[in-house]
């Protein structure tokens, strides 16, 4: 059987205590079949994002170990940060990379969720392709109100209750976890040279799909107190339909209405080459550019054909 590869980008609600961050990441290091590509912690967001690629079993084994560390060390009752969150282990998405389908990633999400709940007693909500409720597929639908509201709502509102685990309660300190299967996602943030968060909120509302903006964009305003800036934080859920440069230029145009300029951007975690190449070709005004013209991509394609 051909070797299966998935991407997994677990998000943990810890971005300030370096000892806890390193303890969470440790199970992903030097583990056969699990490759730690990147991890980034942000103090303002108080969040850790880990980028993994590897074999499903190896990644799931490491995930369970890392999640146990997070559950034992993170208390949502005292946690504060700019990023919305529901649990100590907030989100675990699985994405097909090679020799595995989206349907198989859905099965993986469902089976891992049971294992996760059995081991840690943290209830699980399914999202995106793994959702089992047609009216509850988007992450923001599940996480609405965050931990503080949801821990009360699950007691009486069936529409807000988890899919796996005890229905009417969250874990007393670790909350709940959202697990799913989805396409590659680009986490793209645009910083503005102002401390007025209302401006970032207004622009985020206009750029995201729910506000009449780009169909494949989710966005919110974030106050970056450590940097003395505000940010329009975005998830581009389909970069082939909504290019990064389009969101940047839209935000630049909207910011100008308030006399504000863009003060840098950031990509959080890993990103497909195509997402960057599309914007590079746009800004360099290259006619009829094709990704196949990139030497390294052609070499990787050749190497893959030789391995097959």
Can you give the residue range of the structural domain that contains 251? 186-271
| Confidence band for 305, pLDDT divided at 50, 70 and 90 | low
- pLDDT reading at 34 higher than 80: yes
**Model pLDDT, residue 234:** 97
Give the residue from 136, 160, 181 where a domain finishes.
Answer: 181
Q: How far is C-alpha 261 from the geometric centre of its chain's CA atoms?
A: 26
218 and 238 assigned to the same domain: yes
Note whether residue 281 is domain-resident. no
156 and 41 assigned to the same domain: yes
- The pLDDT mean for the chain works out to 95
| Through-space distance between the first and last CA atoms of the chain, rounded to whole angstroms | 12
166 and 148 assigned to the same domain: yes
For 104, phi and psi rounded to 5 degrees? Answer: -70, -35
Note whether residue 252 is domain-resident. yes
Give the pLDDT confidence of 88-99 residue by residue, as tens digits: 999 999 999 999
Report the percent of the chain where pLDDT is more than 90: 91
CATH code, 84? 3.30.990.10
Average pLDDT over residues 273-292: 92
Taking phi first (over 0 means left), then psi (-120 to 50 degrees means alpha), and beta for anything else, what does residue 79 get?
Answer: beta
Give the residue from 138, 153, 181 where a domain finishes.
Answer: 181
Give the pLDDT confidence of 261-281 residue by residue, as tens digits: 999 999 988 899 999 999 999
Q: How far is C-alpha 225 from the geometric centre of its chain's CA atoms?
A: 22
Note whether residue 105 is domain-resident. yes
For 47, phi and psi rounded to 5 degrees? Answer: -150, 145
- Count structural domains, the chain: 2
Give the pLDDT confidence of 108-149 residue by residue, as tens digits: 999 999 999 999 999 999 999 999 999 999 999 999 999 999
Note whether residue 160 is domain-resident. yes
118 and 88 assigned to the same domain: yes
158 and 192 assigned to the same domain: no
192 and 174 assigned to the same domain: no
Least confident of 113-117, 179-183, 223-227: 223-227
| Confidence band for 307, pLDDT divided at 50, 70 and 90 | low
Comparing C-alpha atoms, which of 113, 46, 50, 43 is closest to residue 76?
46
Question: Any idea what the Cα angle at residue 64 is, between residues 63 and 68, rounded to 5°?
Answer: 115
Classify the C-alpha dihedral 91-96-98-103 as positive or negative: positive
**Model pLDDT, residue 80:** 96
Burial (0-12, 13-18, 19+ Cβ within 10 Å), 107: middle
**Model pLDDT, residue 308:** 54
Enzyme catalytic residues = 83
pTM surpassing 0.85? yes
């Amino acid at each position: 059987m051909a070797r299966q590869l998935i991407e997994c980008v677990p998000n943990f609600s810890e971005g300030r205590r370096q000892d806890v961050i390193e303890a969470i990441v440790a199970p992903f290091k030097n583990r056969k079949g699990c490759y730690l590509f990147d991890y980034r912690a942000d103090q303002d967001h108080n969040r850790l994002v880990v980028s993994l690629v590897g074999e499903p079993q190896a990644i799931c084994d490491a995930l369970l170990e890392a999640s146990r560390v997070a559950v034992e060390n993170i208390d949502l009752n005292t946690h504060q940060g700019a990023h919305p969150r529901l649990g100590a282990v907030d989100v675990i998405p699985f994405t097909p990379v090679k020799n595995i389908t989206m349907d198989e990633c859905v099965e993986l999400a469902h089976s891992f969720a049971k294992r996760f709940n059995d081991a840690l007693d943290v209830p699980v909500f399914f999202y995106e392709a793994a959702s089992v409720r047609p009216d509850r597929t988007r992450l923001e639908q599940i996480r609405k109100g965050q931990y503080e509201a949801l821990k009360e709502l699950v007691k009486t509102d069936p529409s807000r209750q988890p899919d796996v685990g005890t229905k009417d309660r969250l874990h007393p300190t670790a909350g709940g976890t959202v697990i799913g299967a989805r396409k590659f996602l680009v986490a793209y943030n645009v910083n503005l040279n102002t401390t007025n968060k209302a401006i970032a909120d207004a622009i985020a509302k206009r750029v995201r799909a729910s506000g009449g903006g780009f169909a494949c964009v989710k966005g919110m305003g974030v106050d970056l107190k450590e940097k003395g800036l505000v940010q329009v934080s975005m998830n581009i859920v389909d970069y082939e339909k909504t290019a990064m440069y389009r969101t940047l230029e839209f935000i630049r145009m909207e910011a100008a209405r308030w006399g504000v300029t863009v003060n840098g951007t950031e990509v959080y975690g890993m990103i497909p080459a195509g997402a960057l190449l599309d914007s590079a070709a746009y800004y360099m005004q290259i006619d009829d550019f094709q990704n196949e013209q990139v030497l390294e991509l052609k070499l990787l394609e050749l190497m893959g054909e030789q391995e097959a």
